[in-house]
Amino acid sequence: MTPHGLASEARAAAKPFRSGRKRALKDTPLSPDAAAPFRAEPAPTRFAALRREIENSALSFLMEAHDGLSAKIVEEAGFRGIWASGLTISASLGLRDSNEASWTQVLDVLEYMADATTLPILVDGDTGHGNFNNVRRLVRKLCERGIAGVCIEDKVFPKTNSFIGDAQPLADLEEFCGRIKAGKDSQTDSDFMLIARVEALISGRSMDEALQRAEAYREAGADAILIHSKKSTAEEIFAFAERWGDRAPLVIVPTMYHATPTDLFRQAGISTVIWANHLLRSSITAMRETAARIRGDESLIRIEGSVATVQDIFRLVGNAELEEAERRYLPAKRAVGAIILAASGGAAGEPEQPGCMVDIRGQSLLRRLAGTLRESGVHDIHVVRGYRKDAVILQGARMIDNDRYAETGEAWSLSCAEHAIKGETLIAYGDILFRRYILDNLLGSKEDVVIAVDALAAPQQKAGPRDLVRADRPFSGSYLDDRPAYLEKVAQDVALQELCGEWMGLIRLSARGAAWVREELAAMRAEGVLDHGDMPLLLTRLAGRHPVRVEYFTGHWLDIDTLADLAEARNFT
């Protein structure tokens, strides 16, 4: 059977749905303002867009999608409508196509799909998930979510996929017509499409029964008929189309007869072709190949260049729109940079390892420090490294090398990152840990230069050099005391009676404070003291010229110099 000779008696007796619609439009009287200047028509709703696709005289195509991302891919490919497949939605949830996914679960997926795309969606509604009552509730919920149409099949609930087994029981004809009527009575948009899927040919019934059912469904109110076949050729589809005529749009799913040239569908007067499951099937193939290769190679080298990039994912899901919305609706983000001084020598107990790379419960000390910075919104991080610099690694940070680390001090390391001391800037030693609230307090300060000081520090608290602080006022013992304290000196030899605490190795600068630090580095360079100067010297000099606010804390930080410090650090996090 070929699609030729389509002017059968059945077609002649039927009212052509396409030509009839066009004649009605032509015969409609002009409105009184028909001669008015042209006005742009509003964009069609999704309901109207689907109706236009299915009722258009040109052959249209719906592409399968099963989630929000695949819906975006369908739209990106240029299709004008989506088939939300029951099979592929079920499979993507790891379930069988036997109504194991409830209609409410399918509805949740459809909502994500509708949000992800502007295209109209025709959903595979299986049997309507029950009797007429289930169908009318389903239709109302679909309309609420902007789903443009539903296709229901004339089988019993729960359904079995059409390609499983042989003859499957069909619904009683009159009972199924009741489902169609209930669905049409429940739609809240006049353009909502209800398509009746005829399973007679799939189930081994006669062509006459398939036509009888299709006509009964059309009379019950179905907007289109989907005639299904699992034969490897389209002969029975063409036979049905020839006898059906133009009584209602005819939709097909050529999964099994995929070799049929598409032009033959056009010649047969088919309205719409559904490509029903190919995005999911192709993704399964790709995922299997990728998983097997990574498992075999134990590496991503052969994969990374052949799969979609992470940036492509960001583009598909609309990150650019979110960034634009953030600029429109959120307060301007503070651009805070950070400089971590990590050029010093070996770690406690591991002299061959840079101190900042010592392991703290599975992560390097540097990574933990950077994690605290990032949690507080500081993402522009520079790390000044020196000793065994190739071993100092921090993803997402910019590395600056102090190749003179063995002969220079901390001030010189800071000067290596002088270009990064601009705007609001944090400066931190690379061998410290601290609770996030300490950093947040510094970031909340309105001062131009503010340093974190541990007020509980005592001279005999631990051995080794320490950055002791003298300020114009010691800690009062109460955090409610908001009187400011300002730095006078940072050194290792502050007298006990003058001691106010220990500098933690953390500074926050405003844009003006950053300019002051750059000026002080330039002055130290001019005086010849920059090479061997340390941070206490820089801070003391800075305090002699400008106000340096002291922010007092009581513990909740660690400076990791010894094995005992390291053991404490592993209990700190």
Q: Among 465, 466, 505, 501, which Cα is nearest to 485's? A: 501
Identify whether residues 374 and 520 lie together within a single domain: yes
Cα separation of 439 and 504, whole Å? Answer: 11
Identify whether residues 292 and 262 lie together within a single domain: no
Annotation marks residue 97 as catalytic: yes
Identify whether residues 511 and 547 lie together within a single domain: yes
Is residue 385 a part of any domain in this protein?
yes
Q: How many domains does the chain have?
A: 3
501: left (phi over 0), alpha (psi -120 to 50) or beta: left
Is residue 303 a part of any domain in this protein?
yes
Identify whether residues 264 and 129 lie together within a single domain: yes
Which of 67, 97, 124, 431 is labelled catalytic?
Answer: 97
pLDDT for 462: 61
Mean pLDDT by 10 residues, the chain (573 residues): 40 40 33 45 86 95 97 97 96 91 94 97 95 96 97 83 69 96 98 97 94 98 96 96 96 96 96 97 96 93 86 89 86 86 76 84 88 91 94 93 93 95 95 91 94 81 76 87 92 91 95 96 96 95 96 87 63 60
Identify whether residues 231 and 161 lie together within a single domain: yes
Identify whether residues 357 and 433 lie together within a single domain: yes
Q: Among 283, 274, 176, which Cα is nearest to 219's? A: 176
Which residues, 6 or more positions from 564, have their beta carbon under 8 angstroms from its beta carbon? none
Identify whether residues 130 and 222 lie together within a single domain: yes
Q: From the CB of residue 320, how many other CB atoms can be counted at a distance below 10 Å?
A: 10
Is residue 479 a part of any domain in this protein?
yes
Rounded to 5 degrees, φ, ψ at 292 are -65, -40
Is residue 20 a part of any domain in this protein?
no
Beta-ladder partners of 226: 197, 251
Identify whether residues 273 and 134 lie together within a single domain: yes
Rounded to 5 degrees, φ, ψ at 193 are -105, 130
Is residue 328 a part of any domain in this protein?
no
Q: Which domain holds residue 148?
A: 45-277
Is residue 23 a part of any domain in this protein?
no
Identify whether residues 344 and 220 lie together within a single domain: no
Runs of H (alpha helix) within 380-429: 410-416
Q: At 469, which CATH number? A: 3.90.550.10
Identify whether residues 199 and 227 lie together within a single domain: yes
Identify whether residues 506 and 437 lie together within a single domain: yes
The three-class DSSP label of residue 210 is helix
Is residue 26 a part of any domain in this protein?
no
pLDDT for 570: 61
Is residue 9 a part of any domain in this protein?
no
Identify whether residues 439 and 420 lie together within a single domain: yes
pTM of full prediction above 0.85: no
